[in-house]
Amino acid sequence: MTIPRDGGRAFAIEAIGVRLAENGKLVLFLIGLTGIGILSLFYLTRPYAVPGVEEQAEIVRFGAHGDYDGDHLLVVVRTQDGSLRTIGASPGDVRYCHPGGRIRLVRHGVALSVDGPACTVGN
């Protein structure tokens, strides 16, 4: 009897082959599911990959809601195309804003967000 000098690699490769033969469909399903998950993350983050475009909007009204990481305000704005949008903002970002005033927003694709101090003192 001879002792194999491959350190058990042949046995390990054979064991992996047997496991893949038994669970091949499951492994392919998991690989496919992982690929779909990665592609969907790329699709969902695509609007934020390009630099944002600043635009102005008119403030219609404010609302408030609690969030898991602190209080946030809801700001309802009328965009340049006339549509109404509800945007979440921190109180510090909209400190000097008032209904009827102008607010500075950043557009990433179709998403709008409040960028920093969005209103000036005289606004």
User: Higher-confidence residue: 48 or 85?
Assistant: 85
Residue 97 burial (CB < 10 Å; 0-12/13-18/19+)? buried
Cα angle vertex 79, ends 92, 86, to 5°? 55
Query: Is the pLDDT higher at 102 or at 16?
Result: 102
Q: How confident is the model over 31-80, as pLDDT tens digits?
A: 999 999 999 988 887 766 677 888 999 999 988 775 556 667 888 999 98
pTM of the model: 0.56
Q: Which has more confidence, 10 or 83?
A: 83
Average pLDDT of 94-105?
Answer: 89
CA 5 from chain centre, in angstroms, equals 52
70 membership: H or E segment, kind and range: strand 70-78
